Amino acid sequence: MPDPDQLGRESRRTRIARGTGREALCRALLRVVARDGFDGVTFRSVAAEAGATHGLASYHFSTRDVMIQEALSWAVQHTIETTHLASSVGGIEDFAADVPRMISESPEEAVFQFDLLLRALRSPALLDEVRKSYDVYIDAVGQSLRSVGVEGEAIARLVFAALDGLTLQQLLYNDQHRSQEAIRALRQLLSLLASAGNGHPGSQRDGDAG
């Protein structure tokens, strides 16, 4: 069986290193969606964007839908790794510090995920995949918050909702500084939560209040 990444050798526009074909295609798919929307996504268009042959895309992904789903998984993991959302931070002042920078440097990743979310609301077949991606983000945020003494799944959901909304606002306003200011305010609120209840805010179960 030939090395699948070697199927892209014919391209003269880009040389895809051995073992990186799948990632290159996922990155390319995000750029295609950001530029042309999902209607522009085909094996041929994504391969061309990656500088590879059509055969490379069809080798790695059995269908167009599988390619989109794997691109989502890649985008989520890449975002978490790049922004260190699942990492133990030195203090609350470091939480989500890299989020605005990543949005500015790679807006296509956020555009792709928001666009897919809107499609999922109209296509139940996509809902499970998008919900899973949100669960991964919420788990990552919860892990980071626990490292600074802020616990509770509801708090993690709330904090991620804030980051998710700020991401959308940064795409809209194209202003990294607005996001940085808002995240600083979010950290102030988290500091208050960490100080309250002996560092275990949000431990009350949903629906127990009142």
* Span 82-125, pLDDT tens digits: 999 998 777 899 999 999 999 999 999 999 999 999 999 998 88
Question: Burial letters for 113-148: b for 16+ Cβ neighbours within 10 Å, e otherwise?
Answer: beebbebbeeeeebeebbeebbebbbbbbbebbbbb
* Span 1-12, pLDDT tens digits: 434 333 333 333
The dihedral of CA 63, 69, 72, 78: what is its sign?
negative
How many domains does the chain fold into? 2
Answer whether residue 205 shows pLDDT above 50.
no
Task: Say if residue 46 is in the same domain as residue 98.
Answer: no
Task: Say if residue 45 is in the same domain as residue 29.
Answer: yes
Task: Say if residue 151 is in the same domain as residue 50.
Answer: no
pLDDT of residue 33: 96
Mean pLDDT of the chain: 86
Please report, for the domain that includes residue 134, its CATH number.
1.10.357
Query: pLDDT band at 17, cuts 50/70/90?
Result: low
pTM: 0.83
Task: Say if residue 192 is in the same domain as residue 113.
Answer: yes
pLDDT of residue 5: 39
The domain in which residue 17 lies consists of 1-61
Task: Say if residue 81 is in the same domain as residue 26.
Answer: no
Task: Say if residue 10 is in the same domain as residue 82.
Answer: no
Answer whether residue 133 shows pLDDT above 90.
yes
pLDDT of residue 90: 76
Task: Say if residue 115 is in the same domain as residue 153.
Answer: yes
